[in-house]
Amino acid sequence: MEKSEFMIMGKTMEQITIVYGAFLVVWAVLVTVISQSGSATSMIPAVFGLPIAAMGFLTIKMPDKKKLFMHIAVTVGLIVCLGGLDFLRGFGSEGGPFANPWAGLSKLVMAVSGAGYVFLCVKSFIFARKMRDGDATE
pLDDT digits (tens, 9 = 90+) for 52-79: 999 999 999 999 999 999 999 999 999 9
Q: Which residues contact 89 (CB under 8 A, 6 or more apart)?
A: 97
pLDDT digits (tens, 9 = 90+) for 88-127: 998 988 888 888 899 999 999 999 999 999 999 999 999 9
Provide the pLDDT for residue 94.
87
Number of DSSP helices (H) and strands (E) in the chain, helices first: 4, 2
Closest among 81, 100, 92 to 31, alpha carbons compared: 100
Provide the pLDDT for residue 134.
76
Provide the pLDDT for residue 114.
98
Task: Provide the residue type at 137 as one letter.
Answer: T
Residue 74 to residue 117: CA distance in whole angstroms: 8
Section 16-41 average pLDDT: 95
Q: At what angle do helices 101-133 and 13-35 cross, to 10 degrees?
A: 180
